[in-house]
Structure 1
């Protein structure tokens, strides 16, 4: 039994704000990739899918002269730090198990090397799965953040993934 579903997260106003800012279609795609990869590696599918869904909620919009500045983003971004904090706060507020919330936040923190001074971090298997899930959906120049999805389709996708997670938990 899960304390918090993906739908609970998806419907929350804070999640809506940040998922839409960083790309809802990308967030859902990464949640699906994380589910499949975690299943393949015999990890907790619920934790992986939640980390996948929330992995980019720390994004800030880096604009220069009204246009997205990818170089400015690459130079100054700390979205994994901010995202881990936001996700943890949201999950605790929704009633997530504190240990799961911390595990999800750490997977978000280590989903990319973009903010680290070096890329020699040793990840847990779950953290590695979330990193791989994100990389599976990346497009050059950050274009994956600009794909769109209709709200109803997004909601149906989240409900479907929740159902798959419940089925895994009931095996």
Structure 2
């Protein structure tokens, strides 16, 4: 059973403030990539789409002299850490199951290794799908954060994705009972 839907996340003021900051078009596109990849890799599509939608909720705006400074961002950003905490709090407030909120938040924490010292992460399947979904929509120099999408279009796309996720979850339940 889904406790929180993408549309509920979209409508929340915290999401509107912080996901808009990092790019709503990117967030919605990543959620769609995550849905496709979740089906391919046998991952829960509900958790995957939520984590992908919220994966950049921790972004801070790195400006120098009134201009976005990509180098400053790359050097100092820890958005995955802040995003994991922010997403967890949001999900819990909206009534998500605590275990699910934790899994989603960990996938957000590990969607990038840009803030970690050199090394290899061993991601679980959900974390891997969210990282792949983000990579699938990336553009050089962070340009994917600047694409635009109207609120109306984003809402319709997330509503359609919620329906797809609901159908997939129903199908999973049917398959488990057979």
Quick check: TM above 0.5? yes
1:129 to partner: Cα distance: 0.7
For residues 73-112 of structure 1, the aligned pairs below 5 Å read 73-112=73-112
**Runs (4+) of structure 1 moved beyond 2 Å?**
none
Match of 1:54?
54
TM, length-normalised to structure 2: 0.95
Unaligned runs of 5+ in 2: 172-178
Give the equivalent residue in structure 1 for 2:65: 65
SS of the residue aligned with 1:43?
A: coil
Q: How far is the alpha carbon of 1:119 from its aligned partner?
A: 3.4
Match of 1:28 in 2: 28
C-alpha distance after superposition, 1:30-76 (max 9, x if no partner) = 00001110111111000000000000000000000111111100000
In the other structure, the counterpart of 2:154 is 154
Separation of aligned partners in 2, 1:103 and 1:155: 25
Q: CA–CA distance in 1 between the matches of 2:150 and 2:169?
A: 29
Residues in 1 aligned to 2:105 and 2:2: alpha-carbon distance in whole angstroms: 17
- RMSD value, Cα: 0.6
